[in-house]
Amino acid sequence: MNIIKDTQSNFITKIIDDDNHTKKWDERVHTRFPPEPNGYLHIGHAKSICLNFGIAQKYGGKCNLRFDDTNPLKEEDEYVKSIIDDVKWLGFHWEDEPLYASNYFEQMFDYAIELINQGNAYVCDLKSDEVKDQRGTLKNPGIESPFRNRSISENLELFKKMRAGDFLDGEKTLRAKIDMQHANLNMRDPVMYRILHAKHHRTGSKWCIYPMYDWAHGLEDSIEKITHSICTLEFEDHRPLYDWYLNSLEVYHPQQIEFARLNLNYTIMSKRKLKRLVDEGHVDGWSDPRMPTISGLKRRGYTPKSIKHFSDEIGVTKRDTVVDVAKLENALREDLNKRAPRVMGVLDPIKVVITNYPEGEIETLDAKNNPEDESAGTRKISFSKEIFIERNDFMEDPPKKYFRLSLGKEVRLKFAYYITCTEVIKNENGEISEIHCTYDPKTKGGMSDDGRKVRGTLHWVSASEYIEADIRLYDRLFKSQNPEASGDFVDDLNPDSLKLIKNAKLETCLSNAESKSIYQFERTGYFVLDSKDSSENNLIFNRAVSLRDSWAKLNR
């Protein structure tokens, strides 16, 4: 029996199905992805993008890309641009231009005036630490601000003065007048506006008051006529406030739905923390291939398809869990195994001389481009008297079940011949400098006509025709499953997360590689040209992922 996992259905689609059934939103589905442009997006955001845009696709609805740009101190155009690129790269589209919370500042201001007129908001002179101190705790009620009972007209006048720039940063706030005894701390007269004389990346110096997240977010959703406002679980406690603002204003009121955020082991996932890695130079910028950013994953060799597949596989839940990063790596292997062209590359070469092969002869052999896909065809590779194999594919004193090359043993060279090792040549330091072998001309293509079997198959590159490239092998950026478990995550950085290999020997066809194409180097992993540092004169390949999850066995 075939069990097909339905990764398209979850508790959120169940809510939407019910809403469509009752025609709650006239069978409309309109979601949004609302990043704050204060850093580059990471794999957690990718989860949210796949969910929000995916739901819109599933129901023939819409999904807005909306920048939640309400904090001028941290937001920059560079981040806006990268976010747009990342969402597009993942393969999602939105109608018209991206939207910005800052487009609605005027309208939000008008709504604030309305709340003041209702007697539901007041200007408060308490400093931010006083507001915090008087908020109370889960056990103790908060203390009412002495400014709570200002008249509507005084509040209107002060709020307009706030906007006009008559006060210094932090001198006053606008607060919602809800309930300082409320069991939910978010409902204890939350701040709606703060004064910040700072230049905004879009509105410049037009504003010196900026809306707080909870006040702004529901209004953004309402203005855009969002139906289902999907956010992560930590906003569950903010939902009563989301609802209170929209109910008080009696405006269009989307439904907020919370799901568990994606956490990955060996990974940190907050823009603020990732920015620290960038600013302190621990990584090569936001798109360092070890970063969990979308741009890092892209440069590492991840595909949009693998990320979407991963996002579907982990599903949507209401319970916080930590997903094994090996799952993400597996999603990439699964995608690439089906379509990555195979080539041969020797990362740590040692020369093999085939003593009975004619001097000067170069033979052309056929190599399969992808055993998983017949239509990928074959390519020509050249074979000659001298070839390179991987240094660790030879052992002088092999253990019992060693099936690679050793003295007197026969192995298969992929697509070529069987060879038998006859002699090991060493330099004056006793290091192996060359291996001598004989080949069996009757095994062309890697098959014997007498039915004799060999257990080992090695990849190789002809020493008469090859190109050289540098290779970057990546390991996890952090040593611990939870990099923050024992303090500062920077102390948990893995010093061996990048290993550089100079002068690997590769098949010549790779001289035409493009950074869009990902190759399987037989037996060593999936590799992609580094989009930033590679040049015609100095090819650099990144290993996206190894062929198998050997890490799991070694390190857990």
Active-site residue, selected from the candidate residues 24, 27, 36, 313: 36
Q: Are 245 and 214 in contact (CB under 8 A)?
A: yes
Q: Are 62 and 319 in contact (CB under 8 A)?
A: no
Active-site residue, selected from the candidate residues 32, 177, 188, 271: 271
To which H or E segment does residue 48 belong? Answer: helix 43-58
| Separation CA 20–CA 33 (nearest Å) | 21
| Cβ at position 2, least distance to ligand ATP in Å | 31
Active-site residue, selected from the candidate residues 261, 339, 368, 404: 261
Binding to Mg ion (CB under 5 A) within 26-55 occurs at 36
| Interface with ligand ATP, residue 175, by CB under 6 A | no
Applying CB under 6 A, which of residues 25, 44, 167, 277 lies at the interface with ligand ATP?
A: 44
CA R_g for the chain: 31
Closer CB to ligand ATP, 293 or 303, in the complex: 293
Applying CB under 6 A, which of residues 30, 47, 175, 476 lies at the interface with ligand ATP?
A: 47
Please give the single-letter amino acid code of residue 431.
Answer: E
Look at residues 352, 356, 257 and name the one whose alpha carbon lies nearest to residue 12. Answer: 257
Per-residue binder mask for Mg ion (CB under 5 A), 205-244, x = binder? ----------------------------------------
Closer CB to ligand ATP, 316 or 344, in the complex: 316
| Interface with ligand ATP, residue 71, by CB under 6 A | no
To which H or E segment does residue 242 belong? Answer: helix 239-249
Look at residues 205, 187, 221, 236 and name the one whose alpha carbon lies nearest to residue 108. Answer: 221
| Separation CA 230–CA 247 (nearest Å) | 19
Q: Could you give the count of Cα atoms lying within 13 Å of 117 in the half-sphere of its Cβ?
A: 8
| Separation CA 471–CA 459 (nearest Å) | 17
Q: Are 265 and 324 in contact (CB under 8 A)?
A: yes
| Interface with ligand ATP, residue 262, by CB under 6 A | yes
Binding to ligand ATP (CB under 6 A) within 271-300 occurs at 271
| Separation CA 418–CA 411 (nearest Å) | 5
| Separation CA 184–CA 173 (nearest Å) | 21
| Interface with ligand ATP, residue 190, by CB under 6 A | no
- Annotated active-site residue 261? The verdict is yes
Closer CB to Mg ion, 36 or 533, in the complex: 36
- Annotated active-site residue 271? The verdict is yes
Applying CB under 6 A, which of residues 30, 45, 309, 476 lies at the interface with ligand ATP?
A: 45
- Annotated active-site residue 148? The verdict is no
Task: Give the one entry of Mg ion, ligand ATP, none that residue 545 binds, where binding means its C-beta sits below a cut-off of 5 to 8 angstroms depending on kind.
Answer: none
| Interface with ligand ATP, residue 270, by CB under 6 A | yes
Total length of the chain: 556
What does the binding site for ligand ATP look like in residue numbers (CB under 6 A)?
34-36, 44-45, 47-48, 68, 231-232, 261-262, 269-271
Q: What does the binding site for Mg ion look like in residue numbers (CB under 5 A)?
A: 36
Catalytic residue numbers? 36, 261, 271
